[in-house]
Amino acid sequence: MTTRRGLAIGCGGILGFAWTVAALDAVERALDWDVRDAEVLVGTSAGAEIVAALGSGRTPTALLAALDATPDADPVLAGHVAVDPGALPPLPGLGLPGRGLVAAGLRRGSAYTALAGLLPRGRGDAAWLRAFGHALADPTGWVPHPATWLVAADAATGERIAFGADNTQPGTPAVSAAHRVPGATAAADRTGGEPRSGAASTTGSNPGVDRAALDTSAGAQHPASDAAARAQAQGGAAQVAEGGAGGRGGGSGRVPAVGLGDAIAASWAIPGWFPPVRIGERDYVDGGAVSSVSADLLVPLGLDEVVVVAPMTSAGGEPATGLDRAERLLRGQMTRGLDREVALLRAAGTRVIRVEPSAVDLAVMGPNFMDFRRRAATLEIARRTTPARVAAAIRAAHEGVDL
């Protein structure tokens, strides 16, 4: 019997990206599973970059080759990971564009979300993220995997939106959608943002036919193609707002179209570092400002198992000294958020494999996950530690506990 499995990858900056790629390689080996076959790929911030690459057909092996700068590395991946966005943000601009996060943080009991809303307008340049999305996207503007979801947060309300959530029904034209998490009240759950723009030509297809390019052929249905439709039917933590067919917008008129580049930039728009990304009539910031992983988006799907790879959380906590203590304050709050999401998944009958960095990993990474100078060392230690971390996470998942 086939295991219905989802993959959720959290935020983590430059170093979290590198650590996650090594962890995914270990996951594939431990489970004898191609992560691109996940029924749903959910990514936030750095996780959004990675699931976009996976959804386009790239493998963890290809991502590792790019990080290693091997001569035969995929040029799209190699060019992207060669960019250093800087260890510190540029001087900020005026205004508090994410002030809606303050109320959202207070509602959720999340101090870091509330504080993110008080940060000034970031002035970082996200051009390298947009270029990556443009290079990965197929002619429809998205990726061929039928359920690649990139999570951002509405700057005015703090609501999360999963760009790319798809309401495709088997044997029918693709209907694009934005997958929303409702706020504290129904009135707060307004439509806005974007549909995914990549399923119109892949309905009734199986991306396993040609793994190198995630090409499709008629006659076989990928299990992800109706994932969001099941979420809508089952209710729970997620809702689906229908948009225009094929991701071009204009269908229902409620959800504007968006390209993959803007979706990645929105998911990466760290408050105070990058400016919000305007999509339709709404501004969006890094989904990690509200939830480091957003694994709870998968609750309504009734999956058998979800693999969570979360570089910014540590179940049970990890010790720290010096400047690392400041990082642990943020990590502790993000961990509590993921704890709640994992509890929701388990309560729904979904087994959760939760993969997080060890204390050894964190010691190498240091307190600043944007420090490009530490990336090679991070990748090296992750290659050594993640196989054991993944094996332990699999054992813990079958026992229903965390490491």
User: Residue 261 pLDDT > 60, yes or no?
Assistant: yes
Rounded Cα distance, 119 and 48, in Å: 22
Rounded Cα distance, 335 and 50, in Å: 21
Per-residue pLDDT, 151: 96
Rounded Cα distance, 90 and 77, in Å: 25
Rounded Cα distance, 317 and 147, in Å: 32
Per-residue pLDDT, 305: 98
As given in the structure block, the two tokens for residue 235 are 């209710």
As given in the structure block, the two tokens for residue 348 are 């729904």
For residue 148, which phi and psi values (nearest 5 degrees)? -110, 110
Rounded Cα distance, 286 and 49, in Å: 12
The contacts of residue 43 (CB under 8 Å, 6+ apart) are: 8, 9, 49, 50, 51, 52, 148, 149, 150, 151, 267
For residue 254, which phi and psi values (nearest 5 degrees)? -95, -25
User: Residue 209 pLDDT > 50, yes or no?
Assistant: no
User: Residue 186 pLDDT > 60, yes or no?
Assistant: no
More reliable by pLDDT, 240 or 140: 140
* Percent of the chain predicted with pLDDT > 90: 70
Rounded Cα distance, 258 and 278, in Å: 10
Mean pLDDT value of segment 105-127: 95
> Which residue bears the tokens 């509330």?
114
Rounded Cα distance, 113 and 171, in Å: 41
Q: Give pLDDT tens digits for 375-391.
A: 999 999 999 999 999 99
Mean pLDDT of the chain: 81
More reliable by pLDDT, 91 or 227: 91
Per-residue pLDDT, 393: 97
Q: Give pLDDT tens digits for 331-347.
A: 999 999 999 999 999 99
- Tell me which of 121-130, 243-252, 288-297, 324-333 is least confident: 243-252
Q: Give pLDDT tens digits for 128-157.
A: 999 999 999 999 999 999 899 999 999 999
| 308 CB-contact burial (10 Å; exposed 0-12 / middle 13-18 / buried 19+) | buried
Which CB contacts under 8 angstroms, 24+ apart, belong to 320-325? 320/362, 323/366, 323/367, 324/362, 324/363, 324/366, 324/367
Rounded Cα distance, 98 and 115, in Å: 10
User: Residue 93 pLDDT > 60, yes or no?
Assistant: yes
More reliable by pLDDT, 219 or 109: 109
Per-residue pLDDT, 325: 85
Rounded Cα distance, 69 and 87, in Å: 21
Mean pLDDT value of segment 69-78: 98
DSSP annotation string for 348-389 = TT-EEEEE---HHHHHHH-S-TT-GGGHHHHHHHHHHHHHHH
User: Residue 160 pLDDT > 80, yes or no?
Assistant: yes
In 237-394, at which residue ranges do the beta strands (DSSP E only) sit? 239-242, 277-279, 282-286, 305-309, 351-355
More reliable by pLDDT, 354 or 321: 354
Q: How many residues does the chain have?
A: 403
